[in-house]
Structure 1
Amino acid sequence: MDFDLSEEQSLLKDSVERLLADRYDFETRRRASREPAGFSGAMWSAYAEQGLLAVPFAEDEGGIGGGPVETMIVMEAFGGALVLEPYLATVVLAGGVMRHAASPGQRAAWLPGLIGGETRYALAHGERQARYDLADVGVTARRDGDGYVLEGEKSLVLHGDSADRLIVSARTAGSRRDRGGIGLFLVDAGAEGVSRRGYPTQDGMRAAEVSLSSVRIGPEAVIGSAEDALPAIERVADEAIAALCAEAVGAMDQMHRQTVEYLKTRKQFGVPIGSFQVLQHRAADMFVALEQARSMSFLATMMSGEDDAGERPRAISGAKVQIGRSGRLVGQGAVQLHGGVGVTMEYSVGHYFKRVTMIDALFGDADHHLARVARMGGLIAA
């Protein structure tokens, strides 16, 4: 199988890496984290100008017609730079819902603002009691004439505090854990009855708790079927996991590079500590774990576009297991080989480790996905 990038994909990789190298060093990231939204508005506009927000959308809808590989390229570069901007929340999650569930008319109305960087979206799906069960939805959507009234609370909405619009999952029928009876609804973040409590997460990102109290929406805000949205949510979650795997690979690659460079320059007993064989072995173990993660990230990327709802989750979960395990090994190795400086706020290695640790927890950690793969009969079906 050919894993080489096409000419267009190579140009995309070069352009996004050059943009981040020129304008997004670690000190710039620190300053951006102190902005009111928790990220750089100027960089978000730069991503829009460079077409990065248009990557996964069809050309006839204003996008560039990219697929999972193009998303992987962007996310790996973002992982390497520890980007704070809400690309996952707006483009991958909310944008994924639009691609898979919204009508052509809805996409025509909503996508220009997203692609142009003027409107930010967030997917409000998770709830406190649900943990990793995507079917566990307690927020209700009650019929009100030709529209709906939303009631309930959503938890850990990624970048939900700065989003202009929320895509909210809510139950229109059935009991809390039923697979049927779930709909998706577009809600203006400033609508009456919507309240948000934003907070920083451990990795420097942002999230919000969202409360919905008698929030009225019209029929035009219903995305797809009001009772059969779960398959689209599951597909978007799988695509998000593939994107997170790529981001984690970018972060792990930087941790390994910085650690090897530190071993070459840090001296003890008059010689570089990289000359000690035991530390060379540790760095080699980190490299092996990184390459295992990279291979599984490729698998997740290729399978994220698979329509088969049986094979796609199997590969995605297998990749998430490896990413979680590799992230821990690489992160622990990077911090320990750097010594005390590895855990300081002024040094980037610890921040990379925090990010890959949070990536492991998002949409199910390694243990959760290992159990999921086991229930499906293993990574390779019998």
Structure 2
Amino acid sequence: MNHEWLQRAERIRLEEYEYALPDDRIARYPLSPRDSSKLLVYQQGEIDHHHFYNLPEHLPAEALLVFNDTRVIPARAYFQKPTGATIEVLLLHPEEPTRIINDAMLVRNECVWECMIGNKKRWKLAETLTTTLTVSGQELELKASYADYEHNRVRLQWDADLTFLEVVQALGEIPLPPYLKRDTEESDKQTYQTVYARQEGAVAAPTAGLHFTDKVFEQLDHKGIRRSFLTLHVGAGTFQPIKAGTVVEHHMHAEQVVYTRELIEQLLQRIDTIIAVGTTSLRSLESLYWYGVKLLRQDTTEFWIEKLYPYPFAPADLPSAQEALTAILIYMDEKGVTQLVGETEIFIFPGYPFRLCRGLITNYHQPGSTLILLVAAFVGEDWKKIYNEAFAKDYRFLSYGDSSLLWRNSH
């Protein structure tokens, strides 16, 4: 076991991962077309500047790009009380009758979700909120009441034979990141989704993927670059700043992940050239490796990766990526399943032992955030050089901002 990991983690000074981000450098709206954004390419300490439509030129032909195909749902809803008070309900995670998000979207008549509740002090414990919706010409009444007041679990009931997805599409609005400091507009329904989004359930977009277009995909295909998909339903915790005294004390929200057997087989075929499209894909891929570790160690068969699970291991004690992924395939064969569903709260900060990802496509992240720590873990101290270059070249920051292709240093 690696007994020094905790001491190293506690020595991380969070102020070293802050930087000044002027308000005018935050991209409030995306560029059009999507692939016209700037692209910073970082490799072995060298930086070049391009546009995103040039991405295929900077990838090896044997590369495997892994995308997160989650789709943002209109997760923010408003209920008006008779007194005039407005209660905001932001859906976070389903609790009943199932915690599996893909299945929860197909539930009919009633469900329970964990939520963030705005103006909660005006919504009393025994009070039921109602609103009237029109879905495909059909009028229905939606009721909201507390299933668990302390844990912000809200029971939603509707008097029509419709799926919850149909209801929420009519009820809510796309929840933009709070740092955009603007209301959701009609255009965000399209621009705050990737062109390949398929699996409904996220409350935030995997924004590195927002730059991809059909034209870029055609160029990738022409070069022989393969692509595969997983699903991580991005939660609101992705925007939570680090306020704890040390990184190990920071609370990480668990997010649901879904993997197919096809993905795992493709990873094994191109194990040395895996490029994660976005931090959500990277966290999902690395979590998959650690699930293989759990199976090999016979710790558990439950897919649950705790935030600090990877750190106490000495490198010599760890199996190879091939061994971990093969163990997962063997387990899936034994269980007769072609899909894995799990949850991860993995926290990647400097000192993390990357096991699967060689490259990362990502935007520019908030100062002092968990995602800045992830980038610093990936490229080392050069993260400062990268961000300074992005400032010098007038890059646009955060969700609707510009992009980068980062190759991991062997530090």
Interval of TM-score (by shorter of Structure 1 and Structure 2)? under 0.3
Q: Structure with the greater relative contact order (CA < 8 A, sep ≥ 6): 1 or 2?
A: 2
Which structure dedicates a bigger proportion of its chain to helix?
A: 1
- Could you tell me the TM-score, scaled by structure 1's length? 0.27
